[in-house]
Structure 1
Amino acid sequence: MQIQVNTDHKIPGGEKLADYVTADLENSLSRFGGWLTRVEVHLSEDGGGKPEDKKCVIEARPGGKEPVAVTHHASTVDGAYAGAAHKLVRVLDSRHSRAHDHKGSDSIRHMSGPEDPEQVGVLGDETADLIEAERNREAT
């Protein structure tokens, strides 16, 4: 997974900030490592004198899927990054589980059979008896 950090000229920190963001994202996104190909982080200052004028946009690119982008505004660069990173993990977790866990669990085709050999066929015999009784009732 490739991580790229971009900042505008108003954001202080430079290489130290980029190293921190890269290390933090590698740690928090490690479980998606084989699924994600690239992550881009954009830190900027909106200006305008608003209290929450720092902005972080993180775009993640899952292999073979549409890119996912999240945005967070805060009064500090750290707050903007932390909020966006938290949102990204939630979104990726949701998308990853949808892509890999259909309806949240295995299908019945993947379930193992009964563990007790005496239980094998018990349900089948009862079901067969019910079907036969239903047929006899319909015939009369």
Structure 2
Amino acid sequence: MIIQVNTDKNIASNEELVGQIEAAVESNLRHFRDQITRVEVHFSDENSHKGGKPDKRCLMEARLEGRQPVAVTHLAGTVSEAVGGAAKKMKASLDSALGKLGKH
């Protein structure tokens, strides 16, 4: 499972952030490892320089072998909370989609 991380100009990407994101994705989606070819994670700061919460948006898209991609979004006050929420939503979406097919 390849994990690709993208950020907008308002969120600084570094090795520590990428490591946190990869850990959250892998821990939540490890059950689906054989069905997922790639997970794309996109972060944006909805308010950029302005204050206000929640303003960190995480869009997560899982590319599945032989199926349409599954995408979820989560808004939170921090990038860590946003990726955690999106990963949990993705797990629930994949449980539902693949569970109906008896593929997990």
TM-score tier (shorter): 0.7 to 0.9
Query: What are the Cα deviations for residues 38-97 of structure 1, in whole angstroms up to 9, with x where unaligned?
Result: 100011101154421110000001111111000011121112111111100100111111
> CA–CA distance in 1 between the matches of 2:21 and 2:53?
23
**Aligned with 1:74 (options 73, 76, 90):** 76
Deviations 1:2-56 (A, max 9, x none): 1111112211352211111112212221111111111000111011544211100
Q: Distance in 2 between matches of 1:63 and 1:37?
A: 6
Q: Note the 1:60-139 alignment, pairs <5 A.
A: 60-100=62-102
Identity of aligned residues (%): 46
Q: Over the residues paired in the alignment, what is the CA RMSD in angstroms?
A: 1.5
Higher strand proportion:
2
Indicate the residue corresponding to 2:45 in structure 1. Answer: 45
Aligned residue pairs total: 101
TM-score, scaled relative to structure 2: 0.87
In the alignment, structure 2 segments of 5+ residues that lack a partner are none
Higher normalized helix content (fraction of residues): 1
Structure 1 residue runs of 5 or longer lacking an equivalent are: 102-140
Residue matched to 2:27: 27
- Rounded to whole Å, the distance in 1 between the matches of 2:77 and 2:54 is 4
Say which SS state the counterpart of residue 11 (structure 2) adopts: coil
Of stretches 2-11 and 32-41 in structure 1, the one that deviates more from structure 2 is 2-11
Structure with bigger gyration radius: 1
d(CA) in 2 for partners of 1:25 and 1:81? 8
